[in-house]
Amino acid sequence: MAGAASWSFNENDFKQIQTHLQAFLRDSNARCALLVDRNGQLVATVGDTPKFDPTAFASLTAADFSANDQLAKMIGEAEFASLVHQGEREGGGRGGRGGRAKGPARRGRGRN
């Protein structure tokens, strides 16, 4: 992807990511959180074990994020500040900062 930064992190970085995701999980009352990079690689996950294939979910999340990025540009926006999908029983939201990564969070009706 043009303009995408290459980045890596060490064990301490990963522990800090996990700590921030745990705080996000607690603050959002979500059941699990997945951090996905723009290429669809699953970086980290915390909370309940997903009842879906997290690798496929990460790949589809990256594709969805990219598509929404292009939709924003088509209507003259630099980006959408947030994206939310809400189903009958499950929902999720995503946000990206600095063009590096985004993290979906699953929420169930009983935990909102």
pLDDT tens digits, one per residue of 18-45: 999 999 889 988 888 899 888 899 999 9
Rounded-to-integer distance, Cα 21 and Cα 45, Å: 8
* CATH class of residue range 11-111: alpha beta
Rounded-to-integer distance, Cα 48 and Cα 50, Å: 6
Q: Which of 2-11, 42-51, 64-73, 92-101 has the lowest mean pLDDT?
A: 92-101
Rounded-to-integer distance, Cα 99 and Cα 22, Å: 22
Whole-model pTM over 0.85: no
Of the candidates 100, 66, 107, 67, the residue with the CA atom closest to the CA atom of residue 84: 107
111, pLDDT greater than 80: no
User: Over the stretch 46-88, which tens digit does the pLDDT of each residue have?
Assistant: 999 988 999 999 999 889 888 888 998 999 988 887 777 677 7
DSSP character at residue 109: G
